[in-house]
Structure 1
Amino acid sequence: MKINNLEAMYKGWFVGDFIPSIYSTSDIEIAVKYYDCGDYEESHTHKIATELTVIIEGEAKMNDTIFRKGDIITLLPGDETDFYALSKVTTVVVKYPSVKNDKYISEK
């Protein structure tokens, strides 16, 4: 048995083609992310990867749409979104494939 801690991972990402990683693979990335109320991630897109975000707790706004506990958001390659935490928020994010440098910040 191996034991690790999410706090030792980069921004909650613990599976994927990066270091540190619990399981290194180019097939998929998985993260558990925690946000405080008011946290913001600027608008971005991925050219190759599909990104799935599950709201585990709290409320967040993405592209002016409010999402709550249980909502699952699928972003296909080329879809653009930002992320604003309306409360404390916990998410699980799955991105596939795991492609380095596939995050493009919007020029808005």
Structure 2
Amino acid sequence: MKKMITYKLQNFIKGWFVGGFEPTLFNTTDVEVAVQKFKKGYKEVSHYHKIATEITVIVSGKARMNELIISEGEIVIIEPGTCTDFETLEDTTTVVVKLPGVLNDKYLEENK
């Protein structure tokens, strides 16, 4: 008989629960997946990926990526080589999918 197992998102690093890292629920380098919760005012410096495409879904809240305001239900696809920052304008929950799941593929814009 098959079974279901439950886990707590809080037990994963920065909400990342699928990918080629530990801890993970499914170890793969094909994709990385995270659910992330941010308080209003959270800021991440501008960065880019050389290999991976990143897809960000705003599940709730509102954020700014570069000058683009994205709100609940909106999805942004960031292609490799595209720089973006991230700032939450409200408490915000995101789902992020990065493919392929390339470790150490995050570069600060200032180093481009």
TM range, smaller chain: over 0.9
Question: Please, what TM-score do these two structures have when normalized by structure 2?
Answer: 0.93
Structure 2: gaps (5+ residues): none
1:33 aligned partner: 36
Give the superposition deviation at 1:2: 2.1
The residue number in structure 2 matching 1:97 is 100
* Cα drift, residue 106 of structure 1: 1.6
Size of the alignment, in residue pairs?
108
Q: 1:43 & 1:5 partners in 2: Cα distance?
A: 30
For residues 7 and 94 of structure 1, the distance between their equivalents in structure 2, rounded to whole angstroms, comes to 18
- Secondary structure of the residue that 2:81 maps to in structure 1? coil
Contiguous gaps of at least 5 residues in structure 1: none
Residue 82 of structure 1, aligned match among 81, 85, 93: 85
What corresponds to 1:106 in structure 2? 109
RMSD: 1.0
Distance in structure 1 (CA, Å) of the matches to 2:74 and 2:59: 8
Report the equivalent of 1:64.
67
**1:47-71: CA deviation from partner (whole Å, max 9, x where unpaired):** 0000000001011000011110111
Match for 1:72: what amino acid? I
The higher radius of gyration belongs to 2
2:9 maps to amino acid: L
List structure 1 runs of 4+ shifted beyond 2 angstroms: none
Deviation per residue, 1:2-59 (Å, 9 max, x gap): 2211101010000001000011100000000000000011110000000000001011
TM-score when normalising by structure 1 = 0.97
The aligned counterpart of 2:57 is: 54
1:13 aligns with 2:8: no
Percent identical among aligned pairs is 50
